[in-house]
Chain A
Amino acid sequence: MSLKILLAEDNASNRYLATFLLKDAGFTVIPAQNGSDALRLALAENPDLVLMDIQMPEMDGYEAARRMHADPRLAAIPIVAVTSYAMTSDRAKALEMGFVGYIEKPIQPLTFAAEIARFLPEKAAQT
């Protein structure tokens, strides 16, 4: 059973790009279009990792992450920020809020999957 990655990304083109690269690397991808979508799918699918865009309509990535951390059922799932915010403070803020990683867009197609793998929990990675 492949590892499940929840991908929250509002831009369809970018969502497709990331899904393509992750599937190509053998992950199961659960795409979400915004923060609230991501929250709902996370509860439903119990993914191994969440890739979270920060700026999204309806509910942004920060808010979604805060709620996931606040929900005991979701608190254990690692969340990695994938964002085109390039401010250093954004990275710091993200790490402070409990994101385990911070990946800047544009993503590097060659290394993207490998980068994601670093944030997977050990037991999940071993399986």
Chain B
Amino acid sequence: MLNLTFMNGRCALCRQPDGSPALLAWLPLAQANDRAIEPLLLGSALVGIALALVALWSMWQRRRELGHTRVREQWLATMLRSIGDGVIATDAAGRVTYMNGVAQELTGWKEADAAQKPLVKIFQPLDRTSRLPGENFIDRVVREGCSTSTDAPVLLVARDGAERFVLSNASPIRGEDGAVSGVVLALRDVTAKELGESAFQASQEMFRIITDHISDYVSVLDLEGRRLFSSNSFARILSSPRDLYLTSSFAEVHPDDRERIKDLFVETLRTSVGQRTEYRLISRDGEIVELESVATVIRDSTGRTDKVLVVSRDISERRRAEERGRLEREFSDTLINSMPGIFYLYDARRKILRWNKNLETVTGYTTQEFETLDPLTYFPEEEKALVHERMLKCFAEGQSDIEVHLLARDGRRTPYYVTGFRIEVGGRPCMLGVGIDITARLAAEEALRATMHRLRRQNAALAEHARGPGLLNASHHEAVRKITELAAETLQAARVSVWFYNEDRSKIRCSDLYEAVGRRHSSGMELTAADYPAYFRALAEERAIPADDAATDPRTCEFFPDYLQPLGISSMLDAPIRGGARMVGVICHEHTGPRRAWKPDEQSFAGSMADLVALSLEVSRRDYAEAGLREAHASLEIKVVQRTRDLEAANERLQELDHLKSEFLSTMSHELRTPLNSIIGFTGILRQGLAGPVNEEQTKQLGMVQSSARHLLGLINDLLDLSRIESGKMEITRETFAVADLVKEVVQILTPLVEQQKLRFEDRLDDPGLTLHSDRKRCFQILLNLANNAVKFTDVGLVRLAVRSTPEHVEMTVSDTGIGIKPENMTHLFEAFRQVDGSARRVYEGTGLGLYLSQQLATMLGGHVRAESEFGIGSRFTFTVPRGVTSEPTP
């Protein structure tokens, strides 16, 4: 090892001073030794040769000088010519004196040309890397008198520009006196070796770099499988290369794979043939690493296998990717195979890439056949052009669809609706087609078309019937005949008949039977419940009876021997006729020939026909009812006119009577007042004694006459007022007057009564100068009425009359400590002809008009009368009247 290390330094085999033991171990030891020892020997030999030459030279010079042996001279010359090294001799000044053939070849200088030229012109050693001249060691040899060797090969640039690596040794030539008289330079061409070594170095380095950088793991094993070299990449999954040195390469192999790998290793050694294998390794983290390895044997110089190179690749990721890909593929296979329709994917050259099982099933081709099948193969000849056109459209526009038949190998055709999408697969435009079986849809469409056709026919029939003059104007019998014809024609039934129940629903009687063949009508047949109980029971459920197979249908089978069989009727469709709330009959549609399945719309149409019969029945009944109604209506109108006329007359009469009443009241009042004038007047004259003296008793009685007469006058006045108010003839005359005067007048009138009842009476005026612009007479009348009531209904205590004013109104309040008014009577207080208490009427005389008139008058003056009372405690009446425009002059 020491040698090796030393040798490495000298030879710079490895730039890293420590070097790699593995690398060294990997090197063939024998070669390494050879290469390590050779430069040493070479250097030593060269020194020896140089020294020997110098000795010979000195001797030769001496002999020549002494005239000694020519033989020796010749021997020396021969030797100098025959040795493989170049030899150049110089004098002490460094000028060339001799060159042998090899030296001439190395330097490109002929001896004759080089003679007496400075050595540096002939041989200038350059540093191999810097290419700069090194030390002029000839000078040093001359100066120091000792031999000098180059440690490392130097670069010699020949006269012709050729470059060579040489080792050199220079030794001094000493004369008799011991002084240096010249130098002998020995040169050995090591070019071939140097170039070989640098290539080796480069390849070694390259190997290291490669093993460091390639993702593969590289190891070199000995014959026992121990690791001599491991690339750094191993460090990532196992351990550092240094730690792996000489460890068994089988240790980390997955136990399940280990024996197999060992066997394979032995097999490799035995056959010297490298094997490729896959196995699992347990990483230092405990992970399983999938490896793919290739082993190659390395032979020594004798051709014997002595090492094994193993290159391994981590394929875990690839394995996972493969697994994922497999799952993806499985998933997509499952997906497309579980699709309800067909699925296919092909490229622009119509090469199919994927398809599902359904496509195979529908077309009948096998998976193998599909691999090479042109998609157009499974389309019918006449549709191929269209399919191709749509394919091109799909590639051009990205999408297209088509309704087409898939043609199976056995000729079967299945209608499909196919949608094509252009997609990119692996950068290539492809068409993806998905299709669904539209057999059912087409059948449904066909059925729908048929239904629509029937419905149109039915609607047309109904519309024609509705438009025509037919039903509503025809007699019932006529209408039914039309309906049976219409039903037979529209439903294409052989026979259509209309039947009605009898009173007790024990039989049905045929109103009309229409037979399409012969266009015959007949009627009058009867069917009894006793003969056909099942049918009558079915009828009683009041539902349609669609009997597709009338002969076996339990509801209709009892007709078979008498009716169905003789007439060849196979199917029946009966619909109930409803009149009002219950079923009144049935309309029967009978079909001959092959059995017929009655469609829902046909049943519905049958129902419509039944409704038409019912309608016709109702119309005929209604016509009758309407005639009666019209008659009743006409007579009613006459009555109404008569009654209106009566009412108008009565109204006129009432108005007349009202007028007469007013006139009567007016006249009566006048007529009543005329005698009262005399009564009051004469009573006054008598009481005054104008007609002669009267005694006290007479005066008292005359007073009573006068009082009664005045009371009567009051009643008459009230009645007159009432009549005026009711006829709207009450007139208001406004003037400005002093409220104080008004109050005074009222007090004057009431004083005798107050004194008579021994009541206290107070009157209070906030503003003695207060004036009102209103109807004085009416104000007086109202106030007097209220005050008079207070006095009249108060037996004991106080009556107070108070007047207060606001900017807008004057309030005159009369309060008393009288009998009061019950709350329930308050609402009737201001109604005409009412005295609140029936019993009070007897005690307190009056018409009951007073408060009513007061309220009415107050309202006419723009004011009102308000009552407050507490029963048994007293009452308070307030007359509120607007102050009016006082500036207006008195009329």
Contact = CB atoms under 8 A, between A and B. Distances in A.
Contacts of B682: 17, 109
Interface string A89-127: 100000000000000011111100000000000000000
A107 B678 CA distance: 9
A84 B677 contact: yes
Nearest to B709: A106
B675 A109 contact: no
Interface string B682-708: 101100101100000000000000000
Given A109-B688, A109-B690, A55 B670 contact: yes
B681 A14 contact: yes
A44 interface: no
Nearest to A86: B720
Contacts of A84: 669-670, 673-674, 677
A106 B676 contact: yes
B434 to A, nearest CB: 108
Interface string A9-31: 00101100110110010000000
B670 A11 contact: no
B727 to A, nearest CB: 12
A50 B679 CA distance: 23
A106 B680 contact: yes
Contact of A14 (B677, B688, B733): B677
A85 B729 CA distance: 14
Nearest to A17: B681
B717 interface: yes
B304 to A, nearest CB: 165
Contact of A109 (B681, B713, B717, B733): B681
B690 A13 contact: no
Contacts of B680: 106, 109
Contacts of A89: 731
Given A105-B674, A110-B688, A86 B669 contact: yes
A108 B684 contact: yes
Contacts of A20: 685, 690-691
Contacts of A13: 675, 678
A55 B691 CA distance: 28
A86 B688 CA distance: 27
A88 B731 contact: yes
A84 B716 CA distance: 12
Given A86-B717, A88-B731, A107 B677 contact: yes
Interface in A37-94: 55, 84-89
A17 B731 contact: no
B733 to A, nearest CB: 5
Given A105-B674, A106-B676, A109-B690, A17 B685 contact: yes
Q: Which of A21, A24, A84 has the most CB of B within 10 A?
A: A84
A101 B690 CA distance: 26
A53 B709 CA distance: 21
Q: DSSP class of A's interface residues: helix, strand, loop or mixed?
A: loop
Contacts of A14: 674, 677-678, 681
Contacts of B669: 84, 86
A88 B713 CA distance: 17
Nearest to A83: B670
B690 A24 contact: yes
Interface in B653-677: 669-670, 673-677
B681 A106 contact: yes
B678 A109 contact: no
B713 A106 contact: yes
B677 A105 contact: yes
Contacts of A87: 724, 729, 731
B730 to A, nearest CB: 9
Contacts of A108: 684
Contact of A88 (B677, B681, B733): B733
Nearest to A109: B684
Interface string B826-856: 0000000000000000000000000000000
Contacts of A110: 684, 688
A86 B674 CA distance: 12
B665 to A, nearest CB: 11
B720 to A, nearest CB: 6
A110 B729 CA distance: 32
B670 A21 contact: no
Nearest to A84: B673
Contacts of B675: 11, 13
Contacts of B676: 106
B280 to A, nearest CB: 136
B674 A11 contact: yes
Contact of A106 (B673, B688, B724, B731): B673
Nearest to B691: A20
Contacts of A88: 731, 733
Interface string B558-596: 000000000000000000000000000000000000000
A70 to B, nearest CB: 27
A61 to B, nearest CB: 13
Contacts of A109: 680-682, 684-685, 688, 690
A68 to B, nearest CB: 23
A20 to B, nearest CB: 7
Contacts of B717: 86
A89 B688 CA distance: 34
B685 A11 contact: no
Interface string B28-59: 00000000000000000000000000000000
A109 B706 CA distance: 12
A87 to B, nearest CB: 7
Contacts of B733: 88
Given A84-B670, A87-B731, A11 B684 contact: no
Contacts of A106: 673, 676-677, 679-681, 709, 713
Contacts of A18: 681
A21 B677 CA distance: 13
Nearest to B717: A86
Nearest to B690: A24
Nearest to B684: A109
Contacts of B688: 109-110
A21 B685 contact: yes
A55 B667 CA distance: 10
A83 B691 CA distance: 24
A17 B677 contact: yes
Q: Which of A55, A88, A89 has the most CB of B within 10 A?
A: A88
Nearest to A108: B684
B575 to A, nearest CB: 86
Nearest to B710: A106
B721 to A, nearest CB: 9
Nearest to A11: B674
Contacts of A107: 677, 681
A17 B678 contact: yes
Q: Which of B673, B681, B717, B724 has the most CB of A within 10 A?
A: B681
A27 B691 CA distance: 17
Interface in B710-754: 713, 717, 720, 724, 729, 731, 733
Contacts of B674: 11, 14, 84, 105
A109 B688 CA distance: 9
Interface in B299-313: none
Given A14-B677, A88-B731, A109-B684, 8 more contacts: A20-B685, A84-B674, A86-B669, A86-B673, A87-B724, A88-B733, A105-B677, A106-B680
19 contacts: A11-B675, A11-B678, A13-B678, A14-B677, A14-B678, A17-B682, A18-B681, A20-B685, A21-B681, A21-B685, A21-B690, A84-B674, A86-B673, A86-B717, A88-B731, A105-B674, A107-B681, A109-B684, A110-B684
Q: Which 9 pairs, one residue from A and one from B, show the smallest C-beta to C-beta distance?
A: A109-B684, A84-B673, A106-B677, A13-B678, A105-B677, A17-B681, A106-B680, A88-B731, A109-B685
